[in-house]
Each structure stands twice: as structure tokens, then as C-alpha cells.
Chains A and B, each alone.
Chain A
Amino acid sequence: MSKKINVTVKRQDEQNSGSRWEKFSLDYESGMNVTTLLQRIAANPVTVDAGESTPVAYDACCLEEVCGACSMIINGRVRQACSALVDNLLQDRPDQITLEPMTKFPVVRDLLVDRSFMFNGLKKVRAWVPVDGYFDRGPGPKMSPHQQEDQYPLTECMTCGCCVEACPQINDRSSFIGPHAISQAILFNEHPVGQFEEGERMKAITGVGGIGDCGNAQNCVKVCPKNIPLTRSIAKAGKMATKFVFRNFFGT
């Protein structure tokens, strides 16, 4: 008989319904990842205890960790399901793999959550270059390779939600905008043209839910799948905020 993998999934039918655990037993195949497990469950949604169930709802798209869709909690750790290789998971814990939805976002169903909060944050910090228009106006500003190397890691943020999930300051009692949004604000504040709207961004960063709500736990940077230097962005945001408040206070 082929090797079996035990997969336990936290399920929730609707936004406001309670949750329950379901256990699935799946055939092992070398090179599998967690999205493959979910695909196998979809094709044959039969639980170990209760028989026929429904496919587990989950978010997934590119399957190569660039789209940010498939974040979930796997064996207690937030990460992307596509890059979570079953062989590695079994090495750490041979008896089972546990899948849960992220906890900082409203659950839509099962492992699928609503991350609108994060995209709204990007609106608040005006995370874009305020160009005049899309007609031809020649190239963008020159940039040193060094500047590009600073900028590039921040541009890789795929709004996956790992940092938000890990941040203790994001909870029912706080309106913290989240590490991802702070980092994007810094990206555009440091862009030669983006900086023209620095003031607008700093209003959001220094306002309610801004940088002041960061507790400096530094969890965000540990879970970021793209190794984005989030704490560096936060430190920069702190400095910019001090300057901004100072300037505003003295009206210069």
C-alpha cells in the first residue's frame, strides 16, 4: 500500500458560522506541495471520519510564490501553500499536516480570507507614482544601480498577508495599517517622483493607525516570504514621521 499523509483542515462554512476540523488521508507522491494536497482533496473530498465532504475552499493562483494568493497557516506557521513542500513538512512533523486560515482577516470560507484591508491600506498611503499622464514624456528619472537595489526588494511585496498575520499590533483594538503599507509608503517616498507626494503619505503614516501603532515586535520581517526588509522601512518611516511632525509643528 502506498504511503498516506494525514491532513487536518480547519473548516468554516460561511463568514459568520463556527469552525470545525476535518481529517483527510491522501496518497503520498514525491515532490508534492500543500496546493497539490488541496487539489487532491477537491477531486475526492472524503474525510477519514465522516465520509463525503465538500472541497476545501482556498485561494491560489500562480503556484510559484509570486502572486501572494495562497497564504495560510501551515503547521502553525503562516506561509504560502504553494512553496510549502510536503517532504519538508513531514520531516518536521511526520504524523500530520495542519491547515488553518489566517486569523487577522475575515474568513470567507475554509482557508479563503478577505484581504481587502491590505489593499485599502495601499490607498491610504497613496502607494503610486503621481505621473501627469500616460502620454509620451520621455524616460523616467535616472537612478543609480545602488538606488535600484534598495528599491527592488520593496517592490516585490505581493500583499500576501503574512506580515499582517504575524503582527501583534493588528487586532480588534487597534487600527494599525500594517507593515506592508508602511513599507510601500517608504518605497514611494524614496522614489524621485513619488517623493512629491511624501507629505500626503506622511499624513497617513503619522495619523491614526500609522507608524505610532507599530509595537516594534519585528515579527513581520521574520515571516515575509520575500525577505523584504520591513523593519528597515519601519525605522525609516519613524524617522520621516519625526521630521514631518516637527516640520508641521514649526510650520516650515
Chain B
Amino acid sequence: MASERVVVVGGGLAGLAASMRLAEAGVSVDLISMVPVKRSHSVCAQGGINSVNTATRELGDSEYLHLDDTVYGGAFLQHQPPVKEMCDWGPRIIDLMDRLGVAFNRTNEGNRDQRRFGGTMYKRTAFAGATTGQQLLYALDEQCRRWEVDGLIRKHEYWEFLGPILDDNGVCRGVVAQDMFRMDIRAFPADAVVMANGGCGLIYGRSTMSLICTGGAAGRCFKAGVKYANGEFIQVHPTAVPGTDKLRLMSESARGEGGRVWVPKKPHDDRDPMSIPEGERYYFLEERYPKYGNLVPRDIATREIFDVCVNQKLSVEQDRLCVYLDLTHLPSSTHKKLEGILAIYEKFQATDPRVKPMKIFPAVHYSMGGLWCDYEKNEQTGGLVLGSPRNHQSNVPGLFVIGEADYQYHGGNRLGANSLLSCIFTGMIVAPSVESYMAALRTRASDMPTSMFDQEQARHKTHCDALISGNGDENPYHIHDELGDSMTRNVTVVRYNKNIEQTLAKIDELDERYKRIRLSDKGNWTNQNLSFSRALGDMLVLARVIARGAMQRDECRGAHYKPDFAITAPDADDPATLRQQAIKWCDAFQASNDQWLKSTVCGYRPDGDHEFGYEEVDTSLVPARPRTYGLKGAEIIEEVWNERMKKKSTESAADTQAVANA
């Protein structure tokens, strides 16, 4: 019998962690990546990786509180069992990465140092300078290289995934991919496929994401029948540096280490920022959110910066929206810890952020949503049944999804430094799931007729040829620009249905124009024009999923913010009125949760009229509660809400008693 083979698509943290764990279990892996895996987008993660640690435990922290912060920060839109499992694994994952040689910053005693990130009160975040993602990725890259030398991992770098291969029963039996140099298209038969293809920021034109984060692979899986969930939840990072080719991330660690966000009180004050006295500066995050200060969760920081610039017209510059992120007051020892990101700013803006405040503005950063995948809950622990084939398996049998490409861990908004954790964690736990799945397989990919693989290969070849020979009048790069503009304008920080409708109409138009694209490169050797244009088709498909999902969700939750459906915060001075307002607020919150505390699950239809359904969210560990970071009237809302919950639990206890008595 032929040995088991698994294809892993994507060589970022998730894909490499999965490959290395599978190899350790003796499974042969074909690792397919558009770039040498060491150049994957995980390198861009800067600030750190979260887990409970001995220092935070001393202060009362626990895995449960990490879970609580994560689901509260995520507006309760994630199934809690996988999140619980992830938080439980946190300390072990950091330990493992430590053993693999990651150069984590150290305390004087030689322990790992930690910093604080947004959405928590604890210093949970371990870090390696300000290039933590790079360091973690390299450690996994090194381990995979070791397995490559041992022959268990076969890398196919500069190969592009074109689609999964499904048999007549809809079971995934491999993938088709294309050599990006020679342009050969070939089938890779596999007993299971793990998609670790990352995010889809390029749908928004420029974002903080790398050029490979097109969503192309996700779009291709979606078109093959894999469901797509919570697409409308796109994180816009509060602090990025605008550029002509990309919006460069300025890590949350800048604020974690004491960076302050402000604008001059006088609009477009053109004085040297260092000469503006304290009294004439507006530290709006600190003033509005005294508890969290500059470290409010990302969705809130983003909206506040947006509000200050757009609504209050306090942007630092007149013709460009930006605010100051100020690190000039920090000691040089802190600057040293942030060296990686400060160097990026200095290099790309030609200004030294150690002596002059940085100018930053929010940018599209992360997709909380992604390809749908399953999990199996452990009823005893509340976490996962490890090794269950259901964990991370999509609705297409044999096709698994991990990392940013999945939708499980971050709900409506991701907390900073949780993504590196979720990527490594999902890579680690998908391996035993894949093994169990393969152990139960009756037929192997090697038992399948070769004609099935040949047919799929031929189908993709035909599609490729059609794109190359197309002789229309449309330029794919212009279509991409227009898509990015419309999506960024209408489907990011503040969303209005009438605007989203405009974007949907724009997508209709672009879809039509896409049919008439003409490639400027018609060759059959290292044709990057083809790769981009093909991905553009997938971006249009996913853009529709994102925009339609946003259109239909009439509420505010995490990164998805619609002012027309916002609940007005209590603001009365008179205590009795304030209480009445809080009661109303809680009623509205409850009603909104009853209707919308559910995940969007979208299925593909070739005519573009995708099927939208909704899935209940498992909130069995931490009941949903009002998300009141710095909200006006937070205290009274919490008071009313807690009274309600208390009453509810007394009632249900009484009910149980009544049933028992009857």
C-alpha cells in the first residue's frame, strides 16, 4: 500500500507547523507555496504572541481569562471550544517555539520577557524584538528544512494552487497547481489537503498585507464548494503608514510599550509637533478610554482615529488623513525593543520616529472570516476532542483549513498577538485530525483513476489558455484599482447600506469588465501577469461575499460597524433617567444578539447569487455580555445587565426546582 500523502497549501506559520507535525508522524507532505516559504506573509507580524505565563498568573491571570478577553474582544462571534483549546495550548506553544530557538527577548534572570497588547490588562505577549512573526516563521522554516533533508517534506516553491480535486462523491483527493516559472500545470494526488493560504487583503487594493495575500486560493476553494464564513469581518489596523504600493503596519507594540496617539487641538496645526505644548494636544484615546488608554481593541482604536480625522476634521495634515503616534518620550532602551518597526518607519518615511512623532492612519489588516471548518467539542473540558477528524475539516471531506484562511478564532475582531498563536496552534492540531481522517479512509488517492486527475489538470489548462488568449479591452490592473477603491471606501471602518450597495453594483460592473480583460503578457514562461489576472477573478468573487455579508448584517459587532444600527449609549445626568436608558440599551443589545449572534455562512453559486445562511455560535463557556470598553454609561449598563443575568439564573434554577417537584 502506498504511504499516506498530504498536500499543504501555504508555507506561513500555520502551513509550516502542520507540515512539521505531519512529518514528525511519518506522513509525507507536499508543501506548495507561491513564494519560498521563508518569505511568507507571517514575516510581517511584528509585535508578539499571546499566552498566559508565570508572570501574569501571579497577577491572577489564567487560560480562562485569555479565553474571556479573546471572545469579549471578538464580540462573542467565535465558537468557544476551539478558542478555549487555543488559549490552553498557549503556554505550551510558546515553550515549543522557545525550544526551536526563537530569540525571544529576555529578562535579567534569563526568562522570556512579555509586553502588554490591546484588549487585555495582562502582559501576555512574548516577543522577539519587533519582528516576532519573522522569528517564529524562521524557526518553523528551519524545522521543515530539516524534514526536507530527511525526505518527508517535499517543497514546491513558486508553485501556485489552482484548485482542489474532488472525486464523484465530493471527497477531496488532491490539488492542481502551476509552476510559476515554467508554467507547467500538474495534479498532486493526496489523501488529505490542508489549506493554509492566509488572508485576502489585496481585495482592498493596498493593505498591510503582502502581495501574495490575494485570497486567490480561498476563492478557488469557495468555487469548488467549500463554504466561506464571516467574510464581512475584516480587521482594519489602527496604525499603518500610508505608502504608494502598500500600507505598512506600525505594530500595536508601539502602543504596548507606551506610545501615545494624539492630534493637535488646532486642526492641521503646521507647527513642528515637538513644539506643540501638552495643553494643545488632544490624546483622544486616553481621554475617551481611561481604563485601556491607547490599548483599546483594534476596532475601537480604528474608529476613533477615523472619527477624529473625518468627523471632527482634526487630521494632522489637511490633504491627507493621519494622526500622530508618538514614541519620542520613551527611553532609548524601549526604542531598542522596537528597533524593527522604527527602522521600517525611518527607511520608508525618511524621518526618525525616535525624535519626531510618526504619522499613521488605519489600514486593512486581517480577515477574521475565512473558509468554513468544523470542530468537535469535548463535553468534559469544554475544549476540543483532540485528534477528531472534524477539527478544521471543511464541508468538503478531506479538505482542511487552518491559519488566517479559517474563520474559527477571532470572531468579530481579533486581539493583537492572537494571530501568531492561532496560526501555530491550528497547524499543530490539524495534524492529528488529518491522521485520524486518513486512517478511516477506505480508498486512497492512489486508488483513484488517473483520468480524474488528468481531467482536472486539463480543465485548469483550458482556463489558463482562455485567460491568455483573451483579447478584450480591459486592463486587469485598472479593475483591481477600482475594486480596491470601492471596497476601501464602503466596506471598511464605517459601513452604510446605501454605500455597500454601490460597491455591490461596482462589483457587478467589474465582473462584466473582467470577462473582457486582455493580458499584456501572452507568453508561457514566468507569466506573472497571468497569475495576477487569475487571482483578480477570485478577488471579485470574495469581494462579493464580503460586501453581501456586510450588507445583510444590520448590526454593529466588532469590526463591522453600521452607525444606522448602533445602540445609543446612556448619557443622562439624572440617575433615574440614566437607569432607564441603560435598561433600554440592554433590551436593544439583547434583541440584536437574538437576531445576529450567529456566523454568516456563504455557499458559492456560479451566477454570483451566493447562498447566505447563518450558524449558531457556541457561547457555552462565556455567555455573551455587553462589550462596553470605555462606552459612556458602561458602569450602569453592566449593572443592569448583571442584575438581569442574576434574575435569569434564579428563574431557571426555580424552573428546574419546579420540574423536579412536579
- Residues on A lying within 8 angstroms of B by beta carbon are 13-14, 29, 31-33, 35-36, 39, 42-45, 52-55, 57-69, 82-83, 85, 87-88, 108-109, 112, 114-115, 119, 122-123, 126-131, 133-134, 136-140, 142-145, 147-148, 151-152, 155-156, 158-159, 188, 191, 193-194
Which stretch (B106-114, B274-282, B382-390) binds chain A? B106-114
- Contacting residue for B95 out of A39, A57, A139, A159, CB 8 A: A139
User: Judging by beta carbons under 8 Å apart, are A61 and B95 in contact?
Assistant: no
Complex: A43 Cα to B474 Cα, angstroms: 11
Does A128 contact B142, Cβ atoms closer than 8 Å?
yes
Given contacts A62-B41, A145-B105, contact A128 B95 (CB under 8 A): no
Q: Is B190 an interface residue (CB 8 A)?
A: no
Inter-subunit contact A134/B529 (CB<8 Å): no
In the assembly, what is the distance between CA of A192 and CA of B49, in Å?
A: 23
Cβ < 8 Å to A, chain B residues 113-148: 128-129, 131, 134-135, 138-139, 142-143, 145-146, 148
Contact A134 B20 (CB under 8 A): yes
User: Does B526 interact with chain A (Cβ within 8 Å)?
Assistant: yes
With beta carbons under 8 angstroms apart, the residue of B110, B128, B529 that contacts A142 is B110
Check B565 for interface membership: any CB of A closer than 8 A: no
Are B103 and A155 in contact, with the CB atoms below 8 A? yes
Give chain A residues whose Cβ lies under 8 Å from the Cβ of B636: none
Interface residues of B, Cβ cutoff 8 Å to A: 20-21, 24, 35-36, 38-41, 43-44, 92, 94-96, 98-112, 128-129, 131, 134-135, 138-139, 142-143, 145-146, 148-149, 181, 210-212, 243-246, 248-249, 340, 344, 347-348, 350, 428, 475, 477-478, 520-521, 523, 525-526, 528-529, 532
Assess the B478–A82 pair: CB atoms within 8 A: no
Task: Given A54-B520, A142-B110, decide whether A136 and B210 contact each other with a Cβ distance below 8 A.
Answer: no
Are B210 and A131 closer than 8 Å at their CB atoms?
no
Residues of B within 8 A of A148 (CB): 103-106
Specify which of B38, B99, B477, B526 is in contact with A193 (CB 8 Å cutoff).
B99
- Chain B residues with CB under 8 A of A88: 350
Separation of A105 and B107 alpha carbons in the complex (Å): 42
Nearest B-chain residue to A139, judged by Cβ: B95
Partner of A138, one of B20, B95, B134: B95
Across the interface, B211 reaches (CB within 8 A) one of A60, A128, A151, A194, namely A60
By beta carbon, the residue of chain A nearest B348 is A83
Q: Which 8 residue pairs are nearest across A and B when measured between Cβ atoms? A: A142-B110, A140-B98, A43-B477, A128-B142, A109-B526, A67-B39, A129-B101, A140-B99
A130 to B102, CA, bound (A): 13
Q: Which chain A residue lies CB-closest to B44?
A: A62
Contact of B38 among A85, A128, A159 (CB under 8 A): A159
Q: Is A63 in contact with B211, judged by CB distance below 8 angstroms?
A: yes
- Would you list 10 pairs from A and B whose C-beta atoms are within 8 A, ordered by A residue? A45-B520, A61-B41, A67-B43, A69-B39, A109-B526, A119-B145, A147-B106, A152-B128, A158-B39, A193-B101
Among the listed B36, B40, B112, B523, which residue makes an inter-chain contact with A54, where contact means beta carbons less than 8 Å apart? B523
Say which residue of A54, A137, A155 sits within 8 Å of B99 (CB atoms). Answer: A137
Q: Pick from B149, B245, B428: contact of A33, CB below 8 A.
A: B245
Given contacts A29-B244, A152-B129, A191-B101, contact A133 B43 (CB under 8 A): no
Chain A nearest Cβ from B202, distance in angstroms: 12
The residue that B44 contacts in the complex, of A64, A122, A128, A129, with Cβ under 8 A, is: A64
B244 in contact with A31 (CB, 8 Å): yes
Nearest CB in chain A: distance from B89 CB, A: 9
Partner of B243, one of A31, A60, A62: A31
Q: Is the CB of B24 within 8 A of A64?
A: no
- Binding site secondary structure of chain A: loop
* Residues A85 and B101 in contact in the complex (CB < 8 Å), given A69-B35, A127-B145: no
A158 to B42, CA, bound (A): 13
User: Which A residues touch B129, using CB under 8 A?
Assistant: 152
Q: How far is the CB of A56 from chain B (nearest CB, A)?
A: 9
**B181 contacts which chain A residues (CB < 8 A)?**
108-109, 114
CA distance A64 to B181 in the complex (A): 24
Interface centre among B99, B135, B210 (most CB of A within 10 A): B99
Given known A-B contacts A14-B525, A43-B478, A66 and B245 have beta carbons under 8 A apart:
no
| Contact present for B43 and A85 (CB under 8 Å) | no
Asked whether, in the complex, the Cβ of A82 is within 8 Å of the Cβ of B245, the reply is yes
Across-interface contacts of A62 in B (CB, < 8 A): 39, 41, 43-44, 210-211
A123-B149, A136-B92, A145-B106 given as contacts; is B143 within 8 A of A64 (CB)?
A: no
B101 to chain A, nearest CB (A): 4
**A14-B525, A43-B475, A140-B99 given; A64·B344 CB < 8 A:** yes
Inside 8 A of A109's CB, which chain B residues have their CB?
Answer: 181, 525-526
Which residue in chain B gives the minimum CB-CB distance to A119?
B36
Whether B143 contacts A128 by the Cβ 8 Å rule is yes
Residues of B within 8 A of A42 (CB): 477, 520, 528-529, 532
Write the nearest CB–CB distance from A54 to chain B, whole angstroms.
4
Q: Are A156 and B134 in contact (CB under 8 A)?
A: yes
Tell me how far the C-beta of B205 lies from the nearest C-beta in chain A, rounded to whole angstroms.
11
Contact A13–B101 (Cβ < 8 Å): no
Q: Are A112 and B526 in contact (CB under 8 A)?
A: yes
In the bound complex, residues from chain B placing their C-beta under 8 Å from that of A64 are: 44, 246, 248-249, 344, 348
Q: Which residue of B lies closest to A38 (CB)?
A: B245
Using CB atoms, name the residue of chain A closest to B110: A142
Contact partner of A158 among B43, B98, B103, B145, CB < 8 A?
Answer: B43
Q: Which chain A residue shows the least CB distance to B109?
A: A142
Q: Which B residue's beta carbon lies closest to that of A39?
A: B245
Q: A128, B145: Cβ atoms under 8 Å?
A: yes
Q: Which residues of A contact B525 (CB under 8 A)?
A: 13-14, 109
A150 to chain B: closest CB distance in Å?
Answer: 9
In the complex, are the beta carbons of B108 and A145 less than 8 A apart? yes
The residues of A that contact B92 with a CB separation of less than 8 Å are 136
Contact, CB under 8 Å: A65 / B344: yes
Residues in B neighbouring A137, C-beta threshold 8 A: 95, 99
A151-B347 contact given A35-B245, A139-B98, CB 8 Å threshold: no
Which residues of the other chain, B, contact A65 by a CB distance below 8 angstroms? 344, 347
Question: Could you say which residues of chain A place their CB within 8 Å of the CB of B135?
Answer: 155
A41 to chain B, nearest CB (A): 10
Residue on A nearest B521 in the bound complex, by CB: A54
